[in-house]
Chains A and B, each alone.
Chain A
Amino acid sequence: MTRSEEVAMTERKKLALLLMDAPYESARTTTALRLVDAAARRGLDLTVFCYEGAVALSFARQAPHANAVHGRDVAQEDHPNPKDWIAALMVQAEQSGGRLAWINCGLCVDERGVGEVAAGIGRGSPVDFWKAAEAADNTLVIPTRG
């Protein structure tokens, strides 16, 4: 890492975001990913920590599917999978000079059997979220709702 890169990393604003909702279940996930996108485009240093069902957002075995009702095959249906959005957001952050760290709660992962994750996804414990929040300039928790 060059000196200028070190300085840029130090000066970059850090945000921590906590997600709890499982994929395909809540509009909060869409909003959260839009927030991550906005932060990534600015080149911020962003840590996303996933608890509970949100750990499945990065599950590697997500697969697009066809839609027999509408007569569309897999390619025509172009069904989106959040693991691919996360990968794209990581690339976006890097291209913008920032960083996106995506960390899953290990206990939540094991409970749900979704340990096979996409490339670049981390595993941690609640203390890692605490560390991320401590290091961040600001933190936003997006809680589940009944």
Chain B
Amino acid sequence: MTGYLLIESRDPLESNDASYGYDLAAGLARQGAAVTLFLVQNGVFPARRSASTAALEAVVQAGVEVLADEFSLRERGIQGDRLPAGVAAAPIDAVIDRLVEGRKAFWL
């Protein structure tokens, strides 16, 4: 099955559309696709314990690989070693890796 790379740059608290991206990622994973959700810019905020973290954890539980851009985390003072279980800090190279791999890529 085709693999997917979804890139989310928005904080769910600033845009409700982010939750649609989470739902899309989780739905694709439940259908058996390899899915990576790459959080970047304000998209990394749910990786800091907050009201929207539970939604991100649900995405992880659906089988999505959730990566948070380490540069964006640093910019916002979010420590990479205090992320929710299943969310990993990653360099921007992770996006290039998955593009080269041939994942269908969507900037949400």
Contacts and interface: CB of A to CB of B under 8 A. Distances in A.
- Count chain B CB atoms within 10 A of each CB in A13, A15, A139, A140 and give the residue with the most: A140
B100 A38 contact: no
A38 B103 contact: no
B105 A44 contact: no
Contacts of A74: none
B10 A38 contact: no
Contact of A44 (B92, B95, B100): B100
**Interface residues of B, dominant DSSP:** mixed
A42 interface: yes
Interface string A58-83: 00000000000000000000000000
Contacts of B40: 31
B9 A138 contact: no
Interface string B83-108: 00000000111011001101101010
A140 B100 contact: no
A15 B73 CA distance: 26
B99 A141 contact: no
A145 interface: yes
A18 to B, nearest CB: 10
B64 to A, nearest CB: 19
Contact of B95 (A13, A35, A139, A141): A35
Nearest to B95: A35
Interface in A20-62: 27-28, 31, 34-35, 38-39, 42, 44
Contacts of B102: 137-138
B107 A143 contact: yes
Contacts of A31: 9, 40-41, 69, 92
B100 to A, nearest CB: 5
Given A13-B100, A137-B100, A27 B41 contact: yes
Contact of B96 (A27, A39, A141, A142): A39
Given A27-B41, A28-B41, A31-B41, A138 B95 contact: no
18 contacts: A15-B99, A15-B100, A28-B9, A28-B41, A31-B41, A34-B92, A35-B95, A35-B96, A38-B92, A38-B93, A42-B96, A137-B99, A137-B102, A138-B103, A139-B105, A140-B107, A141-B107, A145-B10
Interface of A: 13, 15, 27-28, 31, 34-35, 38-39, 42, 44, 137-143, 145
